[in-house]
Chains A and B, each alone.
Chain A
Amino acid sequence: MTTNRDRKMRPKPDDRLITRLRTGLFGTWLNSAITVVLGLLLLWFLPPLLRWLVFDATWHGTLLDCQAHDGACWASVAAKLRFIIFAFYPIELQWRPLLVCLLLGGVLAITAVPQFWRRELVISWPIVILLCWLLMAGLPGSARVSTNQWGGLPVTLLVWTLCFAVSIPLAVLLSLARRSRMRALRLMTIAYIEFMRAIPMVAMLYFATLILPMALPAGLSIDKMPRAIIMISLFWTAYIAEVMRGGLQAVPLGQEEAASSLGFGYWRAMRLIILPQALRMVIPGLVTQAIGFLLATSLLAVIGIVDILNAAKAAAADPNWLGFYKEAFFIVAVLYFVIGYGGSRYSHWLERRLALPR
């Protein structure tokens, strides 16, 4: 605690920006030296980058215009943007994936606002995801589009949200089972979680492409995309369960005892008393986890599913615009970065907001 006397004795900090910059950059000899060296490094590094990004770039035109300049060929991105976002989805039906992206983006934006956290939102998520799936596949009575033709941004968003949505209820059950006093159940849960967390996601994707079709009964076959979704959900469940367990462990033991002394059964106590407190604590952690998962969806490329990263790669293989990988990857990287960085800032904000007053 700072007393009044302390405050008087301490010199008043001069926190004007210019002073902060001066002490931060040239406060001591060492500081000045570091600043000068880094400044020179930036001078060496930045101008060529800026020349490539902006000054020497081609903003519109054809392949020939691009070849005439040294810089980035943003014209290729402009020409291929439709493909990067929607990939091989039939052009005449492209309003569907567009609607799916808007719908998922809208619900995500609404979910980000704590004022909207209520029962209706939780119920609307499965409905929205199901609707998106039907939109992509073709509503009954309209043209069907096989999942093999899906691609680009809607695939990334749909796989991400769908797997996450499936994983959460499973993870709650697993985390409860891991803390249960039923030993056989607990041991099986631990084995499952530790197994999943020890193997790479690529292995799960190979399970989806190679083993799952063999394990299905004869005559039954599922497309590659739903198979991947099943395996990814099972994989993410283990990770989310561990986050949930952290939240459950942070709920004081007295809460459970108080609930059972009030005559609450196990499920009622969990549903009304323990889980609400645990979930409140893990939400920022879940947001961080979700961002990690979004980045991980890019691994779908390994088994040949056209997510947005794979679509960018395929776009640069177009003979009319051959080889503009840097530009296509740059755009996708910016997209991931905006979501990822925004998400991590949001997670920090949420953590402060949800912190219980002490």
Chain B
Amino acid sequence: MKAVPSDSSAAKKRGMRHPIAAWLGPKPLLQLGIVIGVVALVAVLGSNIATTMARIGVTPGFGFLERAANFEVGDNMIGFRAGDSYARAIVAGLLNTAKIAVLGCCLATVLGVALGIMRLSGNLMLSGLVRWYVEIVRNTPLLLQLFFWTALAHALPPPRSAITAFDVVFLSNRGVYVPGVVISNLSVGTALASTIVFGCWLWLVWRGWRVKRVGLLAPLPASFLSIVVLGIVLAAGRASISIELPAISGFNIGGGFSLTPEFAALLVGLTVKFSAIIAEIVRAGLLSVRREQWDAALALGLHRGKVIRLVVLPQALRVITPLTTSSYLDLVKDSSLAVAIGYPDLMNIVNTTANTTGQAFESLLIVVLLYLALNLTVSAFMNLYNSRVALRGERAA
């Protein structure tokens, strides 16, 4: 409780106040007035929207979601085709946004952590180069960078003369091709069983590292065992897993896992931009651990790897995790720049939906709610992680 001088007289009055007024706090009438004002404003805007919709002949409501959407979604994971419902189109867009967000967060984290450590390297050339990479990437607009990557993706050679690394990865103006994992003959039971095996493995590794604090390579035997069990499960279910390499066939490249030029550009753009941001966060986190902690740990006879893993990283992560959470949220939101380079993400498809159906208000309502949900999901996961790395005292709060 705050000790405000007038508190004793206020408390006496509060004892006799209505519970709602007590809940509201000081000046209940003013607050009521403000609430009524906001509600009235929303009502006026809402009735204006309803009037306009009636004038242009659009029926309010979400019935349009059932109607057939007559546009193609260039790149989607659920096999959407023109003629399917708008609802399905929006799901396709949502999945695309989720795909770019998950891949972008993972790649940006890996690259960002590496860059952040390199930035602190004793080698002047390395730290200097990373510094300028970070400065240039952070101080130019993401949209400009996306234009650059899109132009680059389209300026790649045609498939027949694609740039290739060891005939495994192909870069061409039709897209980027990487080896893909093909799972065939997968029944629901087999899938469930392998998920359980995978879950057990994750749990074992997590318990080893975080609870028992064993060495970095200690879960290796358990991992081998898990792979063997997974193999047996898949063999028993008669499923087969193979790695398919992309190959040039005729005027195109077939097989493997392909990324459209737009997807590749968006992924590279988001990864580069956010790796620079995460590199700065990692650098700040590592610098926040005092030099004496290193010295003390080394004096105790720990070797460098253990010093980093047991002493420095746990302290640095307390600074790094909350900041990284907010850059993940920014990445999810910034993936909506896909509209500017023509990748069919959630925002792009909802915009098309709004323009073709005229149901702009409902469409934007859906997109806003979905972004809220995406954001809440990311923050929930990251808060869970943060409560693990935070100080014990902080965790209770």
Contact = CB atoms under 8 A, between A and B. Distances in A.
A214 B361 contact: yes
A138 B135 CA distance: 39
Interface in A295-351: 295-296, 298-299, 301-302, 309, 313, 325-326, 329, 332-333, 336-337, 339-341, 344
B129 A200 contact: no
Interface in B347-390: 347, 351, 354, 360-361, 364, 367-368, 371-372, 375-376
B49 A336 contact: no
Interface string B302-337: 000000000000000000000000000100011011
Given A210-B360, A337-B139, A218 B55 contact: yes
B336 A203 contact: yes
Interface string A23-52: 011010001001100110000000000000
A40 to B, nearest CB: 11
Given A207-B364, A217-B48, A199 B372 contact: yes
Contacts of B198: none
A65 interface: no
A213 B51 CA distance: 12
B53 interface: yes
A333 B144 contact: yes
Given A329-B144, A336-B144, A34 B123 contact: yes
A180 B31 CA distance: 11
Interface stretch (A56-64, A163-171, A183-191, A278-286): A183-191
B206 interface: no
A91 interface: no
A185 B29 CA distance: 11
B140 A211 contact: no
B30 interface: yes
Contact of B144 (A24, A199, A298): A298
Contact of A202 (B35, B52, B135, B337): B337
B34 interface: yes
A298 B351 CA distance: 19
Interface in B21-71: 23-27, 30-32, 34-35, 38, 45-46, 48-49, 51-53, 55
A117 interface: no
B53 A214 contact: yes
Interface stretch (B1-9, B75-83, B164-172, B223-231): B1-9
A344 B334 CA distance: 21
B138 A340 contact: yes
A25 B138 CA distance: 26
B355 to A, nearest CB: 8
Contact of A183 (B25, B129, B368): B25
A35 B128 CA distance: 11
B121 interface: yes
Interface string B103-135: 000000000000000000111111001000001
A137 interface: no
Contact of B142 (A182, A291, A295): A295
Contacts of A188: 34-35, 38
A31 B123 contact: yes
B151 interface: yes
Interface stretch (A82-90, A94-102, A144-152, A253-261): A253-261
B147 interface: yes
A341 B139 contact: yes
A201 interface: yes
Contacts of A211: 49, 360-361, 364
Contact of B24 (A184, A199, A200): A184
A302 B26 contact: no
Contacts of A183: 23-25, 31
A215 interface: yes
Given A298-B143, A301-B143, A337 B5 contact: no
Interface residues of B, number: 62
A214 B360 CA distance: 10
Contacts of A313: 147
Interface string A245-269: 0000000010001001100000000
A325 B151 CA distance: 9
B148 interface: yes
B136 interface: yes
Given A25-B125, A329-B148, A257 B48 contact: no
Interface in B218-250: none
Task: Sort chain A's interface into a size bin.
Answer: 35 or more
A171 B329 CA distance: 22
Contacts of A332: 144
B129 A38 contact: yes
A200 B4 contact: no
Contact of A257 (B4, B31, B135, B360): B4
Interface in A194-242: 195, 198-203, 206-207, 210-211, 213-218
Contact of A198 (B139, B354, B372): B372
A203 B6 CA distance: 46
Contacts of A341: 135, 139
A30 B148 CA distance: 35
Contact of A25 (B4, B123, B148, B360): B123
B139 A184 contact: no
Contacts of B336: 200, 202-203
A21 interface: yes
A181 interface: yes
A184 B34 contact: yes
Contact of A344 (B52, B139, B360, B372): B139
B364 A184 contact: no
A299 B143 contact: yes
Contact of B368 (A181, A203, A336): A203
Given A181-B25, A198-B376, A333-B140, 14 more contacts: A24-B125, A25-B123, A35-B126, A182-B24, A183-B25, A211-B361, A214-B361, A215-B52, A257-B4, A295-B139, A295-B141, A295-B142, A309-B141, A329-B147
26 contacts: A25-B125, A31-B123, A35-B123, A35-B125, A38-B126, A38-B129, A180-B25, A182-B25, A182-B31, A184-B31, A184-B32, A188-B34, A198-B329, A200-B336, A203-B347, A207-B364, A211-B49, A215-B45, A218-B51, A295-B139, A295-B141, A299-B337, A309-B144, A313-B147, A326-B151, A336-B140
The 3 closest A-B pairs by CB, nearest first: A340-B139, A24-B124, A210-B360
Interface of A: 20-21, 24-25, 27, 31, 34-35, 38-39, 180-185, 188, 195, 198-203, 206-207, 210-211, 213-218, 253, 257, 260-261, 291, 295-296, 298-299, 301-302, 309, 313, 325-326, 329, 332-333, 336-337, 339-341, 344
